[in-house]
Structure 1
Amino acid sequence: MAALGGLKKKRRIQIIAIAVVALTLATALVGYALRDGINYFRAPSEVVSEPPGPGETFRIGGLVEDGSLQRGQGGVVRFRVTDGGASVPVVFRGVLPDLFAENQGMVGTGKYIDGTFEASEILAKHDETYMPKEVVDALKDQGVYREPDAAEGNR
């Protein structure tokens, strides 16, 4: 009988060990699958103070700095995005949204390489409800956030 109890205990330990290994493997696979789908948001001040690695894809948002928009050959657009505390140069190859303009909010997805944010996607806001909460908070902290006009909100 003692041998039978030892076998049951050994079998229980094996099942628990297999379950732990399976759970660890499943967690690792989910993390691996989501690695490209998770884009952390950063304000320009955060990018300047703690630059992300060159391989990290993230979102940046703020206002397009006045006088910084330059359109080049082959659809290359350069500008600076600011939150009032710092500004980051951005380069984008492609067609910008119709609502994209200087002194307007934007959110970009891309990578920070050699001091420049290389955007793969640019979104332009049409009112303050489009701007991520993190951008609004950063702009308010810097004292440059503008409340939307009642007329703008009704468009």
Structure 2
Amino acid sequence: LPVADVLGPSPLLLDALDRRLAEAGPAVASAAERARTGVVLAAAGSSDPAANAATLAVAELWRRTRGWAAVRTAHASAVPPHVPDAVAALRATPGVERVAVAPYLLAPGLLPDRITAAAAACGADLTADVLGAAPEIATLLLHRYDHAAAAARTPTALSA
């Protein structure tokens, strides 16, 4: 059976992150406000350094392509950095006037709750909701399914 590729990274995930932040604080939808806003991309975190490096790459792509003043990663698991560390680093970044926290998780639960609680405790200015049922996520799932289905229909050397 074919297996679809992982959801991330994808520009559609960045679109969903943008949507959730705009829902949490509409002011960050403008380019001028983004240029003054630092964002914590808060993921689960992993003991696999490659997984954490992938999240760092998403953060850099998000900053570079969407106009945020800065983007830092944080993890909800035992793997540092954690949300308070990332918020503090952003507060110390020249040009950052507001700090937002964006969970890089699909569904509510223990880890998003940890992210939200940490963001509130360390004084983040706004916290977005999890990605959840965003239309961008549905579109990405369909793209991944279509790609896997097409690969399954393509004959391989072993099946010929």
* More helix, by proportion: 2
Q: TM class, shorter-chain normalised?
A: under 0.3
Q: When the two structures are superposed, what TM-score results if normalisation uses the length of structure 2?
A: 0.24
| Greater length-normalized contact order (CA 8 Å, ≥ 6 residues apart) | 2
Structure whose CA Rg is larger: 1
* More strand, by proportion: 1
Q: When the two structures are superposed, what TM-score results if normalisation uses the length of structure 1?
A: 0.25
